A and B are shown apart, each in its own frame.
Chain A
Amino acid sequence: MKCRAFEPLIALDVTGDLRQPERDRVAAHLETCANCQALAAELRDGQSMANLLRSHAVPSTALSAVRERILDEVAGLEPAPAWLLAMHRVIFAGLRRKTAIAGMGLIAIISGSLWYGQPPVAVLPTNAPAEQMARIEMPPPVDIPSAVPVLTPQSVARLQLPKPLVVAPPSEPQSNASPEDVASEASQIPMKFVTDDPDIIIYWLPNDKGD
């Protein structure tokens, strides 16, 4: 760290306003830096000048003049009425004014949003005439789709499935493989049936006999 970065820390260190780790860093730097030692000494001198200002008292003539002016001004003022004092103590209940106002505002916002968030409820009088009831427009009925069918072995059997298409493997059969082996391999290729419903796809895994 350069000396310039230490200057604000040294300015705080003269009155012990630093935390221990920072104080240690400043102390370590001051041991090696003559310029910063001089700065620390000047800042300590500044503190003694502040003491000089502290020791200087205001003249008593000024005090009495101010008091006279204040009391003259106050004599012409009306104190706050008693009801205002009582109301203030009840409303703010010892809280700070800003806190109390913020709290009341928050309560108003929450209760307002709850009030307007309610769905409107149409209340019809129980003795409303039939003509008035007839004039109420009801929304059209909505078609509710039937539930997605669950496939069971029986329902699959009822489906009129197309004949399975046997696809030959793309590679050439090995020279030493017999025609029966090739047929057996081809019969184990899974089949995919696409139905009218795009959500239902049927895979057929044939057994050794091709059933």
Chain B
Amino acid sequence: MSRSGGDENPSELALLLVRAASGDAAAFEQIVVRHERRVLTLSWRLLGVMADAEDAAQEVFLRTFKYLHRFDPRKPFEPWLVRMTVNVCRDLGRKRRERGALLVEEGDAYERAGQRNPANNPDADLEAEQLRERLFQALRALPEKERAAFVLRDVEDMTTAEVAETLGTSEATVRSQISSARLKIRKLLGGRR
């Protein structure tokens, strides 16, 4: 994976995973600290709302703790975690839709506004923020599978093969989903045709 923490020692991580699987809370905390940013960011990109993303990240790590004994420590951990994150976000998004929950966009926008850098140009910040919000809205309008393919390929910068592996589908299907998602986003953002 393009973003799989290349700076970490795989054998050290494997040791942490084995220790965490046998109930070592300190080892599990280390795993959480190393991967929380990746999981929360991906969840946020997939769901578009920070409150939902926090719930998703919590669920991902709980599942990780529960099913860590199934993971083979000789294999790379991050693709497994990313796959689980995508599945959890899919489940959560489905539940939210079934319950007809309204997205709390105002609260989210407020939260993002709170982290603007005062040293930057406020107008440029606002413009970027508005653009980002439009992109999030366009992403939310996409079908679930196209959104996941688009986020993993274009935002997470994974290769088509990695996206296919993560989503458990073929590269041809991923290409088709990405192509469709890009054209729809362009249209939703006000493309000419």
Known: A53-B135, A63-B37. A84 touches B69 (CB 8 A): yes
Q: Across the A-B interface, how many residue pairs have beta carbons closer than 8 Å? A: 129
Q: Is the CB of B36 within 8 A of A63?
A: yes
| Distance A106 CA – B180 CA, assembled complex (angstroms) | 39
Chain B positions within 8 Å of A74 at CB level? 25, 28, 61-62, 65
> Is A42 a contact of B191 with CB atoms below 8 Å?
yes
List residues of chain A with CB within 8 A of the CB of B45. 53
Q: For B65, list chain A residues within 8 Å (CB).
A: 74, 77, 79
Q: Are A59 and B111 in contact (CB under 8 A)?
A: yes
Among B4-12, B50-58, B97-105, the stretch in contact with A: B50-58
Q: Which of chain A's residues have a CB closer than 8 A to the CB of B185? A: 46
* Cβ-defined contact, A67 with B32, below 8 A: yes
Contact with B along A71-95 (1 / 0, CB 8 A): 1011101111010110010001010
* Cross-chain contact B74 with A49 (CB below 8 angstroms): no
0/1 string, A22-59, CB within 8 A of B gives 1: 00000000000001001100110011011011101111
User: A58 contacts B132, CB within 8 Å?
Assistant: no
A70 within 8 A of B: yes
Say yes or no for A185: interface residue by CB 8 A criterion. Answer: no
Count chain B residues whose beta carbon lies closer than 8 angstroms to a beta carbon of A: 57
Chain A residues in 8 Å Cβ range of B61? 70, 74
Residues of chain A with a CB closer than 8 A to B44's CB? 58
Interface residues of B in 90-122 (CB under 8 A from A): 111-112, 114-115
Q: Given B136, B182, B189, which contacts A11 in the complex, CB threshold below 8 Å?
A: B182
- Nearest chain B CB to A128 CB, angstrom units: 56
**A67 CB to nearest chain B CB (Å):** 6
Which of B21, B22, B68, B182 is packed against the most chain A CB atoms within 10 Å? B182
Q: Which chain A residues border B28 with CB–CB below 8 Å? A: 74
Count of A interface residues, CB-CB < 8 Å = 46
Cross-chain contact A82 with B22 (CB below 8 angstroms):
yes
A39 neighbours in B (Cβ, 8 Å):
186, 191-193
For window 172-193 of B, CB contacts with A under 8 Å fall at 175-176, 178-180, 182-183, 185-186, 189, 191-193
- Which B residues from 27 to 59 make CB contacts under 8 A with A? 28-29, 32-33, 36-37, 40-41, 44-45, 50, 53-54, 57-58
- Which B residues fall within an 8 A CB radius of A? 21-23, 25, 28-29, 32-33, 36-37, 40-41, 44-45, 50, 53-54, 57-58, 61-62, 65-66, 68-70, 72, 74, 111-112, 114-115, 128, 131-132, 135-136, 150, 153-157, 160, 175-176, 178-180, 182-183, 185-186, 189, 191-193
Known: A43-B182, A69-B58, A71-B25. 17 other contacts (CB 8 A): A14-B182, A15-B154, A39-B192, A49-B135, A52-B128, A53-B136, A54-B156, A56-B132, A58-B40, A62-B54, A63-B36, A70-B57, A73-B58, A73-B62, A78-B23, A82-B22, A97-B70
Q: A interface vs B, CB < 8 Å?
A: 7-9, 11-12, 14-15, 17, 35, 38-39, 42-43, 46-47, 49-50, 52-54, 56-59, 62-63, 65-67, 69-71, 73-75, 77-80, 82, 84-85, 88, 92, 94, 97
